[in-house]
Amino acid sequence: MRKLMKLFCSLFLVMILFNCQQDIYQVEEELIGVTLPENTKIQGFYLLNEGNMGTNKATIDYMDYTTGMYHRNMYAMANPTMVKELGDVGNDIKVYGNKLYAVINVSNFIEVMDLKTAKHITTIPLENCRYITFKDGKAYATSYAGPVSIDPKAPLGKVVEIDTISLKITRQEVVGYQPDELEIVENNLYVANSGGYRVPDYDRTVSVIDLSTFKETKKIDVAINLHHIKKDSEGDLYITSRGDYYDIPSNLFVLDSKTHKIKKTFNLPVSNFTIVDDQLYYYANEFNYNTFQWKKSFGIINTKTEEIINDNLVSDPKIKEIKTPYGIAVNPITKDLYLTDARNYVSMGYVYCFDKNGVFKWRTEGGNIPAHFAFVYK
């Protein structure tokens, strides 16, 4: 009887271990044919799905242009020995060299992967990390340098420099409060400071860091609660402000990187944008606590003339299906436009594709809150 009990206990333990292994290793990748194959210099794109905060549901998808197949949840399939999902809130994704970098905000690390396979290489710990950019073998990433918490005493943020060979942090510099996106023009690194945790005492500056000394040389006053910053072909910086969600609306500004003066204020709400061939494609999904309503808008700006040339992105009525625009990208070769729909932030979102003439091409389901694109060149 005792032998039977031992055998039963052993079998029970094996079953537990097997089920635990199933929990850790059993992941699903879905392949969906969404369009015809195409042959250009761009092989495809990665899409980082943020995942709702606290749910640990950040995932990575891959669109393969050479096959026309959309690979949902590719990271999990490529890394079966990693614990299920990628982490909590995927905030940015970029390609540099032969590596893919995903900034996982609430999980406090940057995931580094092989570009071709999305296989895990290492993780770089960085508290409350936000955005990443690259130059000359170095990565630069912003960090809120404190916990996720609305706090009038939230600390100043920082920017870290990471060597892309050793994948170690080599230098760091304190900037403004809750720094978000960052951009490089010549030898200066520009950082959009939000101060979002210190509401209503938002930051309103862009920090300038000299890349040689890695010291902040100045702060440029722009507007409250800054978010995105991207350069055009002439080195001018387009910067978004979220406003205060009450009486100060979202806005878009142009900063001259040579004089460090604001060249233009558009008085236009912009949530996110991308710049391709002197055209800035944007969407706005602005919330106001006074009305408790969301307001959507889309458009295109010519960055040479700094004028709005279209008050919509596409003419196809399919765009009206998008409930919660959240991500945007334009293929630099074909000029296909991609928009994501986060829907209710809980359900799986959608990825929409429109051609260069604004005609709807395809739609597929992404992950939870599909957001950030990174194109892969052959």
Q: Which helix (H) or strand (E) holds 22?
A: helix 2-25
230 close to 273: Cβ distance less than 8 angstroms: yes
Name the nearest CA neighbour of 191 among 161, 153, 170. Answer: 161
Q: Give the model's confidence band at 84: pLDDT under 50 very low, under 70 low, under 90 confident, else very high.
A: low
Average pLDDT estimate for 126-155: 98
Instruction: Give the pLDDT confidence score for residue 81 in this predicted structure.
Output: 86
Separation of alpha carbons 267 and 284, rounded Å: 12
Report pLDDT digits (tens) over 256-305: 999 999 999 999 999 999 999 999 999 999 999 999 999 999 999 999 99
Dump the DSSP string for 257-286.
TTT--EEEE-----SEEEEETTEEEEEEEE
Instruction: Give the pLDDT confidence score for residue 47 in this predicted structure.
Output: 98
Tokens of 28: 């699903």
Tokens of 238: 């387009």
User: Does position 63 have pLDDT exceeding 50, yes or no?
Assistant: yes
194 close to 203: Cβ distance less than 8 angstroms: yes
Q: What are the boundaries of each domain within the chain? A: 2-377
Name the nearest CA neighbour of 368 among 45, 88, 180, 128. Answer: 88
Tokens of 151: 């706090």
Q: Give the model's confidence band at 2: pLDDT under 50 very low, under 70 low, under 90 confident, else very high.
A: very low
Q: Give the model's confidence band at 28: pLDDT under 50 very low, under 70 low, under 90 confident, else very high.
A: low
Average pLDDT estimate for 292-319: 97
The length of the chain in residues reads: 378
Q: Give the model's confidence band at 31: pLDDT under 50 very low, under 70 low, under 90 confident, else very high.
A: confident
300 close to 279: Cβ distance less than 8 angstroms: yes
User: pLDDT over 70 for what percent of the chain?
Assistant: 92
Separation of alpha carbons 327 and 306, rounded Å: 23
Tokens of 310: 């279209």
Separation of alpha carbons 280 and 361, rounded Å: 21
Report pLDDT digits (tens) over 163-198: 999 999 999 999 999 999 999 999 999 999 999 999
Question: What proportions of the chain, in percent to the nearest 5, are helix, strand and coil?
Answer: 10, 50, 40
Instruction: Give the pLDDT confidence score for residue 5 in this predicted structure.
Output: 34
Using DSSP, state whether 75 is helix, strand or coil.
helix
Average pLDDT estimate for 127-146: 98
Instruction: Give the pLDDT confidence score for residue 15 in this predicted structure.
Output: 34
Structure pTM?
Answer: 0.91
Buried/exposed code over 314-341 (b: 16+ C-beta within 10 A; e: otherwise): bebebbeebebbbbbbbbeeeebbbbbb
Average pLDDT estimate for 325-336: 98
Instruction: Give the pLDDT confidence score for residue 82 in this predicted structure.
Output: 81
User: Does position 16 have pLDDT exceeding 50, yes or no?
Assistant: no
**What average pLDDT does the chain have?**
92
CB burial class (10 A; 0-12, 13-18, 19+) of residue 367? buried
Separation of alpha carbons 170 and 211, rounded Å: 13
Separation of alpha carbons 235 and 255, rounded Å: 9
Q: Helix count (H) and strand count (E) of the chain?
A: 2, 29
Report pLDDT digits (tens) over 358-367: 999 999 999 9
> What CATH number does domain 2-377 carry, 3.30.830.10, 3.40.50.720, 3.10.20.30, 2.130.10.10?
2.130.10.10
Q: Provide the CB-side half-sphere exposure for 7 (13 A, CA).
A: 4
Instruction: Give the pLDDT confidence score for residue 177 in this predicted structure.
Output: 98
